[in-house]
Chain A
Amino acid sequence: MGNASEKNTLYPNERNPQPEQRHDSSLKGAFVSVLLLGGFIALTWFGVFALFLARN
């Protein structure tokens, strides 16, 4: 059964519950990576498109 004293006593390593500090991990590295990938996609797309137009 639930111990009535659990509600009243806080163990030493517990803090009062408070909203956690949110610190977002940096997305800058991911952003640069996807920009490079997007650049590659765009470059190769236009490259193949240029080939298509040239061979028409």
Chain B
Amino acid sequence: MHLHRLEKIWLGIGFSMLCLFLLVLGIMSLTMGMAPPGGHHQSIDPAKVRETAPFDKPMLKKIGENEYEAVFLAYAFGYEPHKMEVPAGATVHFIITSPDVVHGFEIPGTNVNTMVLPGEVSHVTHTFDTPGEYLILCNEYCGAGHEYMMTTIIVK
């Protein structure tokens, strides 16, 4: 099969680009744990969410030196707990589920962006280095009050 010289060059460039992208992403997700949310598969009965631990008491819990576990409930149309405060530099493990419909959980300006599905528990972690007030938004259409669905997390 005869390949033109320019074709060979282009194929080389394209193939190398692909290898580079896959290498970077592969190393990051497999060795540094920097991957999209997923992997923690945990199912829950959506009808019984408010009675199932830990979602019967959504709150912030300190689990280590500047490490927290934040159990969230995403419902139509808000989040519980309604206010959260952590110190700067804190690593927060968000654990979220929904008792009703599909919601989103996004903190704009960070890499926290996950869907919250009834029947599933979403796990996403973030370290808040910069103090300030962060918005937690719903970015999955969930009904009439979707555009009002938000809360804030204050980092001191």
Find the A residue at minimum CB distance from B126: A56
Find the B residue at minimum CB distance from A41: B17
* B31 in contact (CB, < 8 A): no
Chain A residues lying within 8 Å of B13, measured Cβ to Cβ, are 35, 38
Bound together, the chains give a CA A28 to CA B13 distance in angstroms of 15
Bound together, the chains give a CA A41 to CA B7 distance in angstroms of 18
Bound together, the chains give a CA A34 to CA B10 distance in angstroms of 8
Q: How many residues of B contact A (CB 8 A)?
A: 15
Given contacts A31-B10, A34-B10, A56-B34, contact A42 B17 (CB under 8 A): yes
* A27 in contact (CB, < 8 A): yes
* A55 in contact (CB, < 8 A): yes
Contact A31 B6 (CB under 8 A): yes
Docked complex: A3-56 residues within 8 A CB-CB of B:
24, 27-28, 30-31, 34-35, 38, 41-42, 45, 49, 52, 55-56
Contact A55 B6 (CB under 8 A): no
Smallest CB–CB gap between A14 and chain B, Å? Answer: 28
Find the B residue at minimum CB distance from A38: B13
Chain A residues lying within 8 Å of B111, measured Cβ to Cβ, are 52, 55-56
A residues with a Cβ closer than 8 A to B are 24, 27-28, 30-31, 34-35, 38, 41-42, 45, 49, 52, 55-56
